[in-house]
């Protein structure tokens, strides 16, 4: 059995947690650079605000609704996510973090009353973190995810699908487009086959599913029948790439500013690699102009570089990234975004070094660990490579940024 846990309206929940007066109001969180809506309170959903709505298109509507608007505060969201994951880890022998607000828990072989155990998880995690969560349980990961969505529709904190009768009762009317793994492309194909519900999909012949949806669709089909089908590996594979990117607050044309932004993203990627004890063998750097601005010439260059030695060193990845950026940069374009993506990710312990190389992995590790220790004590960016710059005039627009209540001493709430 698996449990799927997620934070309800994650980003909005984090903001509301530190400002209870927001409960019951229309609240939205905007994406990087305050571009579009990426999280909504239930009241915002009911008012018709959609995910992905551009801020300038719904600005008037939000004002009429007296909505509260926030810029993305990822430092706050990541810290609250970590607190939830640490809590969840107490209730399982295997926790798989799927995203910042979602995780799977393996519940096989636990000598507990499953219904009571799940109720305990739900109650204790909400009490310990202050976050509202929903728990879905099923014999496979796909059914656990389905149970979670069904639970939300029923306005329950949790739902346990541990018998064929319970599963049948839920999936008979469950919309196929809400099933995990059924994207727009698969949805259109399934509509042609007359598939409307998860039960319709389950009744398709496995050979037909494989013909239309390849092996991934076949695995999903098996999972809906309660047959675990190595979806764990699929999920793990999806995390084999780490990326950091953001849009600028204004168009950038100078190489120096672009280098600073790219260096910052490389440093972020390096930190994420170290946190999951892995290293990257490939690094991709890219630049983007604004495709929506027809008055500007467009340029979307990218370059993938093989890292000489798999590494998670901030210094090494930053150096490679800046060199790659200089190779793709062309003056005369108005760049709006840059990003860095690490791929070819392997476990740190599997790295094989060249006996005849001068690369000092121990020294690089020591430097990176020292940076992590100092930044953990004094705040992110207290110690960083010079290439990241200082003023960061290119930094994204964050007009509605809330405080970093849990990660910055200056922003801690004062009790009176």
Rounded Cα gap, residues 182 and 139, in angstroms: 19
Q: CB count, 10 Å around CB of 269?
A: 25
Residue 336: pLDDT band with limits 50, 70, 90:
confident
Rounded Cα gap, residues 64 and 87, in angstroms: 39
78-100 per-position pLDDT tens digit:
889 989 999 999 898 888 888 88
29, β-bridge pairs: 39, 70
Which two tokens mark 305? Answer: 């570089």
Rounded Cα gap, residues 94 and 100, in angstroms: 17
Average pLDDT over residues 237-254: 77
Q: Which pairing describes strands 68-70 and 27-30: parallel, antiparallel, or unpaired?
A: parallel
269-327 per-position pLDDT tens digit:
999 899 888 888 889 999 999 887 788 889 999 998 888 888 899 999 999 999 999 99
Q: CB count, 10 Å around CB of 164?
A: 11
The mean pLDDT of the chain is 87
Residue 354: pLDDT band with limits 50, 70, 90:
low
Rounded Cα gap, residues 81 and 102, in angstroms: 9
- Residues in contact with 78: Cβ distance below 8 Å, sequence separation at least 6, in sequence order: 100
Rounded Cα gap, residues 94 and 108, in angstroms: 10
pLDDT above 70: residue 216:
yes
Q: 301 — alpha (psi -120 to 50), left (phi > 0) or beta?
A: beta
The dihedral over CA atoms of 137, 139, 140, 143, expressed in degrees to the nearest 10, equals -50
Rounded Cα gap, residues 49 and 47, in angstroms: 6
Residue 66: pLDDT band with limits 50, 70, 90:
very high
pLDDT at position 276 is: 83
Average pLDDT over residues 341-363: 73
Q: Report CA-CA distances (Å) from 384 to 285, 371, 378, 396.
A: 20, 7, 12, 19
Q: What percent of the chain has pLDDT over 70?
A: 93
Average pLDDT over residues 172-181: 91
pLDDT above 60: residue 233:
no
pLDDT at position 170 is: 94
pLDDT above 70: residue 381:
yes
Rounded Cα gap, residues 191 and 197, in angstroms: 10
pLDDT at position 151 is: 95
pLDDT at position 124 is: 94
Q: Which of 44-53, 89-98, 219-228 has the lowest mean pLDDT?
A: 89-98
pLDDT above 80: residue 398:
no
Q: Please give the domain boundaries of the chain with CATH numbers for all domains.
A: 9-73 (3.40.1170.60), 76-225 (3.30.70.270), 242-388 (3.30.1490.100)
Ranked by mean pLDDT, which of 61-75, 203-217, 392-406 comes out on top?
61-75
346, β-bridge pairs: 279
Q: Which of 214, 269, 266, 220 shows the shortest CA–CA distance to 241?
A: 269
Burial label, 52 (beta-carbon count in 10 A; 0-12, 13-18, 19+): exposed
Which two tokens mark 364? Answer: 């690089």
pLDDT at position 374 is: 87
Identify the H or E element spanning 397: none
Contact 117, 107 (CB under 8 A): yes
pLDDT at position 350 is: 64
Strand order in the sheet with 27-30: 37-40, 27-30, 68-70
pLDDT at position 394 is: 65
pLDDT above 70: residue 349:
no
87: Cα separation from own chain's centroid? 19
pLDDT above 60: residue 134:
yes
pLDDT at position 54 is: 84
């Amino acid at each position: 059995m698996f449990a799927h846990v997620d934070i309800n309206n994650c980003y909005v929940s984090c903001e509301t947690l530190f400002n209870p007066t927001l409960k019951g109001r229309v609240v939205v969180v905007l994406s990087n650079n305050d571009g579009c809506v990426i999280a909504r309170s239930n009241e915002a959903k009911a008012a018709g605000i959609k995910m992905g709505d551009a801020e300038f298109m719904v600005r008037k509507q939000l004002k009429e609704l007296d909505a509260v608007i926030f810029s993305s505060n990822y430092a706050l969201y990541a810290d609250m996510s970590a607190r939830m994951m640490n809590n969840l880890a107490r209730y399982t022998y295997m926790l798989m973090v799927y995203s910042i607000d979602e995780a799977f828990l393996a519940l096989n072989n636990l000598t507990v009353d499953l219904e009571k155990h799940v109720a305990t998880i739900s109650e204790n995690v909400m009490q310990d973190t202050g976050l509202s969560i929903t728990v879905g349980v099923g014999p496979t990961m796909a059914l656990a995810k389905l149970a979670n969505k069904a639970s939300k529709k029923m306005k329950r904190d949790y739902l346990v699908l541990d018998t064929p009768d319970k599963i049948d009762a839920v999936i008979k009317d469950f919309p196929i487009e809400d099933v995990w793994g059924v994207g727009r492309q698969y949805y259109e194909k399934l509509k042609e086959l007359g598939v409307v519900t998860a039960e319709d999909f389950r009744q398709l012949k496995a050979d037909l599913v494989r013909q239309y949806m390849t092996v991934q669709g076949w695995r999903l089909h098996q999972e809906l029948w309660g047959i675990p089908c190595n979806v764990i590996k699929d999920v793990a594979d999806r995390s084999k790439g780490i990326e950091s990117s953001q849009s600028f607050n204004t168009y950038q044309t100078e190489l120096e500013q672009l280098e600073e932004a790219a260096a910052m993203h490389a440093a972020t990627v390096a930190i994420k690699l170290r946190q999951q004890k892995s290293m990257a063998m490939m690094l991709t750097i890219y630049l983007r102009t604004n495709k929506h601005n027809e008055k500007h010439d467009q340029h979307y260059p990218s370059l993938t570089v093989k890292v000489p030695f798999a590494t998670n060193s901030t210094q090494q990845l930053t150096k490679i990234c800046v060199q790659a950026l200089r190779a793709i940069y062309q003056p005369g374009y108005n760049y709006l975004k840059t990003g860095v993506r690490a791929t070819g990710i392997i476990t740190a312990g599997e790295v094989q070094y060249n006996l005849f190389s001068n690369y000092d992995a121990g020294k690089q590790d020591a430097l990176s660990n020292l940076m992590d220790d100092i930044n953990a004590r004094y705040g992110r960016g207290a110690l960083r490579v010079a290439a990241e710059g200082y003023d960061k005039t290119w930094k994204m627009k964050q007009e509605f940024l809330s405080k970093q209540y849990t990660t910055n001493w200056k922003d801690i709430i004062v009790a009176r």
